[in-house]
Chain A
Amino acid sequence: MTDPVLALPVLALTDARLTLAGNAGPVEILKGISLDIAKGETVGLIGPSGSGKSSLLMLMGGLERATGGKVLALGQDLTAMDEDALARFRRGNMGVVFQSFHLIPTMTALENVALPMELSGTPDAFPRAEAELASVGLGHRIGHYPAQLSGGEQQRVALARAAAPRPAILLADEPTGNLDGVNGQAIMDMLFGLRDRHGATLVLVTHSPELATRCDRVIRLADGLLAPEALAKAAE
């Protein structure tokens, strides 16, 4: 018999909406998204620019607050949490990788990777960070600052930072968008490798059809809504 808790989706969105205020009036970004993502699943979010992919990812990570509907992560209602509660929730459960890396420039690679574990009070934050950096091939660059690293290396540090706390959910927003083909391929291999190693649920925003085909499921967005074929399995 299946454990009902394990059967719960890791991410569950019900009629999730996002409207942002603009100078010319409110702008409806997401117009009612209902979606379940299962534990361990890898999901690719695709769609044209402005379709709401990144905004949907931000809702899933509690980095944007839904203006309507519900967003549940690991069974917890993100729409009911305040900023600090969301931060505490992300701390132990989510890793986020951005297109622009978003490393902290005044911290070394090792400090950047150790930071989320320091924030959650993990006692062996630095040894774990060092091991994670070694796993992405940067064991020899732990003392370097972001400005001393190439774009590909910075994204590898960002990957290590997202994966080191062993989060249940990995969110990646166009992680290869700022990288050339070779580095982009290497980063994707590492991202899927980390996901396989830690068993996390991976939600990935991408413009690359090739990358999307590596996911268990591809969800297409168009104009703030799920496209009709959204739930089609991508990689057969």
Chain B
Amino acid sequence: MSLRSTLAFTIARRELRGGLRGFRVFLACLALGVAAIAAVGTLRTGIQQGLTDQGAVILGGDAEMRFTYRAADADERAYMDRIATRVSEVYDFRSMALIEGDQALTQVKAVDDGWPLTGAATLDPAIAVAEALADQNGIPGALMDPVLIDRLSLQIGDTFRLGTQDFRLTAALVREPDSASTGFALGPRTVVRTEALANSGLLSAGSLYETRYRLTLPPGADLQVLEDQSEGQFRDKGMRWTDSRNAAPGIEGFVDRIGSFLVLVGLAGLAVGGVGISAAIRSYLDGKTETIATLKTLGAEAG
């Protein structure tokens, strides 16, 4: 270190004996702004990491092939059976849950024995999904969102109707493991077996529904290769591919937008704080003007 630098450092060290009092506002503004931006970044990263780590659970499988207004045909099912170790078929549509004298809109999920492929549904009472959806006395079982149960004033064991098919409420669906990947829903959830809808008249030509095929893939499967391959074969037939790398694009988009907004808020805070910073620095330098003038009088150069 040159003599000049050493002396500059010595004088600066002596100046700091006066403390950082004049810099408190400056430091507070800087700390708050940086902390806000860092917190937003950390939160966004945490959420995105969580979505990535739990991608398969959120999606309900390692990958999903989705069709609109139709089920997969034989070729498509054969393809799924070839690339996956397990396949679960889910129908998703809106309907009215009917009871004597009342009705309510519900988002129906019709599932097979494999549902849920990943994660676990939480039911009240705590019984197995297969048991909850099983027929009893010729009436198939059903699960319902507690909100819908309250709305229709149902009790466990009561019956309700979807289309022309009666169902018996066997449990409340407290937690639905793949709900985050479903996207926008117009009504609370009802879960039934797909087979039980055969006589309901709800899944026929002209019905508005989606089918989702959740796939459990072999360990080490290359998701990108499978996506390219599947889209290459079935994209033109209306197939849409989603996998655990981006299990809930809606949520990720929402988090991205909120994150950008909060960063903007942080930056705006920094900009507003900039006024305080400017005032703090001006006030500090005003206090040091006499010292600087004295130093120059004694022979201190500018640089």
| Interface set of A (CB-CB < 8 Å, partner B) | 61, 63, 83-84, 87-88, 90-92, 96, 102-107, 111, 115-116, 118-121, 161
Q: Chain A interface: which of B213-221, B263-271, B290-298?
A: B290-298
User: Interface segment, B13-21, B113-121, B234-242?
Assistant: B13-21
Q: How far is the CA of A121 from the CA of B300 in the complex (A)?
A: 11
Residues of A within 8 Å of B295, CB to CB, are 104, 115, 119
Q: Which residues of A contact B14 (CB under 8 A)?
A: 104, 106-107, 111
Contact with A along B263-292 (1 / 0, CB 8 A): 000000000000000000000000000110
A161 and B299 alpha carbons, distance in the complex (Å): 12
- Could you tell me the distance between the alpha carbons of A92 and B294 in the complex, rounded to whole angstroms? 15
Q: Are B301 and A118 in contact (CB under 8 A)?
A: no
The answer, among B10, B11, B300, for a CB contact under 8 Å with A87, is B300
- 18 new A-B contacts, CB < 8 A, other than A102-B294, A121-B3, are A83-B302, A84-B301, A84-B303, A87-B299, A88-B301, A90-B299, A92-B299, A102-B293, A104-B295, A105-B18, A105-B291, A106-B16, A106-B18, A107-B14, A111-B14, A115-B295, A118-B7, A119-B7
Bound-complex Cα distance A84 to B3 (A): 17
State the CA gap A88–B3 with chains docked (Å).
15
Please, which residue of chain B has its CB at the minimum distance from the CB of A104?
Answer: B291
- Mark out the residues of chain B between 1 and 29 whose CB falls within 8 Å of any chain A CB in the assembled complex: 3, 7, 10-11, 14-18
| Pair B302/A90 contact, Cβ less than 8 Å | no
Q: Which residue of A lies closest to B301 (CB)?
A: A84
Contacts of A111 in B (CB 8 A): 14
Contacts A118-B7, A119-B7, A121-B3; A106 near B17 (Cβ below 8 A)? yes
Shortest beta-carbon distance, B7 to chain A, in Å? 6
By secondary structure, the A interface counts as helix
Q: Are B291 and A87 within 8 A (Cβ)? A: no
Contacts of A61 in B (CB 8 A): 297
What's the count of A-B pairs with C-beta under 8 Å?
A: 56
**Interchain residue pairs with CB less than 8 A apart (9):** A83-B296, A87-B299, A87-B301, A91-B298, A102-B293, A102-B297, A103-B294, A107-B14, A119-B7
Point out the residues of chain B lying under 8 angstroms from A106, CB to CB: 14-18, 291
Question: Is the CB–CB distance between A116 and B298 below 8 Å?
Answer: yes
Smallest distance from the beta carbon of A203 to chain B beta carbons, Å?
15
**Closest Cβ neighbor of B299 among chain A residues:** A91
Q: Give A62's nearest chain B residue, CB to CB.
A: B297
Query: Counting chain B CB atoms within 10 Å of each CB, which of A63, A84, A104, A161 scores highest?
Result: A104
On chain A, the residues within 8 Å of B18 by CB distance are 105-106
User: Using Cβ atoms and an 8 Å threshold, which residues of chain A touch B303?
Assistant: 84
Q: Is the CB of B298 within 8 A of A119?
A: yes
Q: Which residues of B contact A96 (CB under 8 A)?
A: 297
Closest to A58 in B: B297
Q: Which 5 A-B pairs have the closest CB atoms?
A: A91-B299, A84-B301, A116-B298, A106-B17, A119-B299
Chain A nearest Cβ from B1, distance in angstroms: 14
Quote the shortest CB–CB distance from B17 to chain A (angstroms).
Answer: 5
With contact pairs A111-B14, A118-B7, A121-B3 given, residues A104 and B299 touching in the complex (Cβ less than 8 Å): no
Docked complex Cα distance between A137 and B44 (Å): 67
In the complex, chain B residues whose CB is within 8 Å of the CB of A84: 301-303
Residues of A within 8 A of B293 (CB): 102
